[in-house]
Amino acid sequence: MPRRFTGQHMAMILVAFFAVVVAVNFLMARQALSTFGGVVVENSYVASQKYNGWLDEARAQQRLGWDAEVDRMADGRVRATVSGPGQGASVVALARHPLGRQPDRRIDFVRHADGSFVSREELPAGRWTLHLEVRDGQSVWRRDVALQ
């Protein structure tokens, strides 16, 4: 004799289904929060109000026509070869670890005789994102560079 399907069976199926959905959601949220170490913007409303200004700055940077190539030297220091600015230019960078596992580091550069800029301190091995800033008088040029 077959067993009858009752409302109690249906309630148990629904409870089990939603328990699995909730458990998976909690697991995925926990994984997402434990692997993302950064903040895109602190306040999205304030960022939206500044957006047009950021676009204007980006256009001004493009008009400068400057460019930079960044590489790591054998001794761990960073070299930036910048084309465009004059002899009075200065270069600084903020090095950020992509996963936020190491603290941010400010890197100061010194101009060498060949025109390149070399950091004063070593940068630990690994992947880094450099927020490069070149200044020449009133002109400022910025670029994010991935460095491995």
pLDDT on residue 95: 92
**Tokens 């070593």 identify what position?**
122
Residue 128, Cβ neighbours under 10 Å: how many? 24
Each residue of 6-48: pLDDT tens digit? 999 999 999 999 999 999 999 999 988 887 766 677 788 988 9
Rg (CA), the chain: 26
Each residue of 60-97: pLDDT tens digit? 888 888 888 999 998 989 999 888 878 888 899 999 98
Whether pLDDT at 116 is above 80: yes
Question: How many CA atoms lie less than 13 Å away from 97 in the CB half-sphere?
Answer: 14
pLDDT on residue 148: 82
Residue 122 in tokens? 């070593």
What's the burial of 131, exposed, middle or buried (CB within 10 Å: 0-12/13-18/19+)? Answer: middle
Mean pLDDT of 126-145: 89
This prediction has a pTM of 0.64
Instruction: Give the residue, 115 or 108, on which the prediction is more confident.
Output: 108
pLDDT on residue 20: 98
Across the chain, how many H-helices and E-strands are there? 2, 7
**Tokens 């450099």 identify what position?**
130
